[in-house]
């Protein structure tokens, strides 16, 4: 009931804020050939963590190429609804961008966000990285089979957690349970930084997370990855076996990108997409990606729109099975 009321309140807020903005969309489209003429805002739907880091790293590159300030604003809360409401309340003029990730589709599918793929145009995917299963270096668990066997024998033998309840990482855990036949609890954690803190502080025993979540703890040897959800071994983690190598057919990649309110001129969308594509091909950006163990994700805006729509459609059964929809 609280979620429904929150969604209804957010819709009313968007409608109110959007009265002026929608009236301006046609005028803004006429001026799109001169875009950008003022500062650009990026609304980040999370607090500190991988997504925030990615946006703050790429913002100066975008600013340099487009000749305007690019300001990153954190607007966490409401399973991404707070940020999306704020962006939808602005004109569709290409001056307010919204972050999207592989977890956005879950929030949309659950109804936590009062918008769907039809309300957005996805512009670019800046980076991607796979899901993984992580434990501390002194854990007795050496493989995914070890974890599954232990949880089958005693579902409470290990505490497993990750980012939020209706999220990409929870989905990976759900698929692991379905394919291997165990049933154990999930501890939802508010931010990706807190996932790392929980694992390193021994508040959870196992984390389902992106490998970069713990920063340098993996490369230092403080954290061990039991498996990684890539189709083939990742060049960033060549010594870590894939899920498939261990007999579990899971390939799941988390992407992080930007979108705009539907109705934004296609020329603006393409110009920003081309700008980001140019940035990601530079040696300087490739060095940044390597430093943070990320990969480029060269996908067109049209393909990204399809990706988001397909993800939302595909996550519905997962959320229904968990009673989260």
CATH number at residue 50: 3.40.190.150
Cα end-to-end distance, the chain, whole Å:
12
Q: Map 33-53 to HEC letters.
A: HHCCCCCEEEEECCCCCHHHH
| Tokens matching residue 51 | 């997504």
The kind and range of the H/E element at 212 are: none
Nearest Cα neighbor of 82 from 18, 10, 4, 12 is 10
Handedness of CA 12, 13, 14, 15 (dihedral sign): positive
pLDDT computed for residue 165 by the predictor: 83
> Do 204 and 60 share a structural domain?
no
pLDDT computed for residue 31 by the predictor: 62
Edge-first strand listing for the sheet containing 132-136: 187-189, 160-163, 206-209, 132-136, 223-228
> Do 49 and 31 share a structural domain?
yes
Secondary structure (3-state) at 201: coil
Last residue of a domain, one of 195, 212, 246: 246
183: domain CATH number is 3.40.190.10
Q: Are strands 160-163 and 206-209 parallel, antiparallel or unpaired?
A: parallel
CA 192 to CA 50: how far, in whole Å? 7
> Do 210 and 150 share a structural domain?
yes
> Do 136 and 276 share a structural domain?
no
CA 144 to CA 189: how far, in whole Å? 22
| Tokens matching residue 241 | 């076996």
Query: In which residue are the tokens 């739907």 written?
Result: 45
Last residue of a domain, one of 198, 231, 246: 246
Per-residue DSSP letter, 211: G
> Do 64 and 38 share a structural domain?
yes
Query: In which residue are the tokens 């799941």 written?
Result: 252
> Do 44 and 184 share a structural domain?
no
> Do 56 and 162 share a structural domain?
no
pLDDT computed for residue 84 by the predictor: 98
Give me the tens of pLDDT residue by residue for the chain, a chain 325 residues long: 554 455 445 545 544 444 444 444 443 445 688 999 999 999 999 998 889 999 999 999 999 999 999 999 999 999 899 999 999 999 999 999 999 999 899 889 989 899 999 999 999 999 999 999 999 999 999 999 999 999 999 999 999 999 888 788 999 999 999 999 999 999 999 888 899 999 999 999 999 999 999 989 999 999 999 999 999 999 899 999 999 999 999 999 999 999 999 999 999 999 999 999 999 999 999 999 999 989 999 999 999 999 999 999 988 888 888 787 7
> Do 265 and 239 share a structural domain?
no
> Do 140 and 161 share a structural domain?
yes
| Domain of 210, in residue numbers | 132-246
> Do 220 and 136 share a structural domain?
yes
Alpha carbon 281 to its chain's center: 21
CA 195 to CA 208: how far, in whole Å? 9
Per-residue DSSP letter, 255: E
The count of structural domains within the chain is 2
Last residue of a domain, one of 246, 261, 293: 246
> Do 139 and 242 share a structural domain?
yes
| Tokens matching residue 243 | 């899920």
Query: In which residue are the tokens 């309840």 written?
Result: 165
CA 166 to CA 318: how far, in whole Å? 9
> Do 176 and 316 share a structural domain?
no
């Amino acid at each position: 009931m609280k979620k429904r009321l929150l969604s209804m309140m957010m819709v009313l807020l968007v409608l109110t804020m959007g009265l002026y903005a929608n009236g301006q969309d046609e005028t803004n489209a006429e001026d799109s050939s001169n875009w950008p003429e003022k500062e650009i805002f990026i609304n980040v739907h999370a607090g500190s963590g991988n997504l925030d880091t990615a946006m703050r790293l790429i913002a100066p590159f975008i600013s340099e190429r487009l000749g305007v300030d690019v300001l990153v604003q954190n607007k966490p809360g409401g399973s991404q609804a707070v940020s999306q409401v704020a962006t939808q309340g602005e004109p569709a003029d290409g001056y307010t961008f919204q972050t999207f990730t592989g977890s956005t589709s879950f929030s949309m599918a659950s109804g936590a966000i009062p918008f769907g793929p039809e309300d957005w145009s996805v512009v670019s995917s800046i980076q991607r990285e796979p899901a993984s299963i992580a434990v501390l270096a002194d854990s007795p668990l050496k493989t995914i089979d070890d974890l599954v066997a232990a949880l089958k024998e005693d579902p409470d033998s290990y505490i497993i957690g990750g980012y939020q309840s209706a999220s990409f990482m929870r989905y990976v855990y759900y698929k692991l349970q379905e394919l291997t036949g165990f049933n154990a609890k999930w501890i939802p954690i508010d931010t990706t930084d807190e996932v790392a803190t929980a694992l390193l502080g021994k508040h959870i025993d196992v984390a389902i997370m992106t490998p970069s979540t713990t920063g340098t703890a993996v490369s230092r040897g403080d954290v061990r990855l039991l498996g990684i959800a890539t189709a083939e071994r990742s060049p960033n983690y060549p010594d870590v076996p894939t899920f498939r190598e261990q007999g579990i057919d899971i390939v799941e990649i988390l992407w992080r990108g930007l979108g705009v309110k539907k109705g934004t001129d296609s020329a603006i969308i393409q110009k920003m997409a081309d700008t980001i594509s140019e940035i990601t091909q530079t040696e300087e950006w490739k060095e940044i990606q390597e430093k943070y163990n990320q990969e480029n994700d060269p996908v067109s805006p049209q393909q990204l729109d399809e990706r988001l729509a397909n993800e939302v459609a595909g996550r519905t059964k997962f959320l229904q099975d968990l009673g989260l929809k």
